[in-house]
Amino acid sequence: DGGITQSPKYLFRKEGQNVTLSCEQNLNHDAMYWYRQDPGQGLRLIYYSQIVNDFQKGDIAEGYSVSREKKESFPLTVTSAQKNPTAFYLCASSRTGDSTEAFFGQGTRLTVV
């Protein structure tokens, strides 16, 4: 089945540690996205990539980094510079161009203690 796989589903880290969230898709989509979800705030765009080896900052990129070395993969690193990293992180992909819908993974819940 085609889809987007995020792993792990739950992740716990100590404060000050970097952590990398995995996102893989086999939909042959060019575009991939990372969103952060907090209660009552909807989804906010962290980073997006429309083609391999290229990515752009979204609305809340500070404290995060990404890479796009392969079309299928778009890992997100939450660095120690992110002041409030505990959240639900969602990865999505889509075809490029306007009017296209995004397909979402099942999410990773990150808790920093």
Q: Is 4 in the site for other proteins (CB under 8 A)?
A: yes
Q: Which residue from 18, 53, 106, 111 is in contact with other proteins, where contact means CB under 8 A?
A: 106
Q: Is 2 in the site for other proteins (CB under 8 A)?
A: no
Answer yes or no: are the C-beta atoms of 93 and 102 closer than 8 Å: yes
Q: Which residue from 2, 16, 41, 113 is in contact with other proteins, where contact means CB under 8 A?
A: 41
Q: Candidates 12-20, 32-40, 60-68, 75-83 — which segment interacts with other proteins by CB under 8 A? A: 32-40
Q: Which amino acid is at 56?
A: Q
Please state the closest distance from residue 49 (CB atom) to other proteins, in A: 11
> Radius of gyration of the chain from Cα atoms?
13
Q: What is the DSSP track for 43-75?
A: EEEEEEEEETTEEEE-TT-TTEEE--SBTTB--
Answer yes or no: are the C-beta atoms of 107 and 9 closer than 8 Å: yes
User: How many chain residues touch other proteins (CB under 8 A)?
Assistant: 33
Cβ closer to other proteins: 1 or 101? 101
The sheet carrying 76-78 orders its strands as: 4-7, 19-25, 76-78, 64-66
Q: Candidates 13-21, 60-68, 71-79, 100-108 — which segment interacts with other proteins by CB under 8 A? A: 100-108
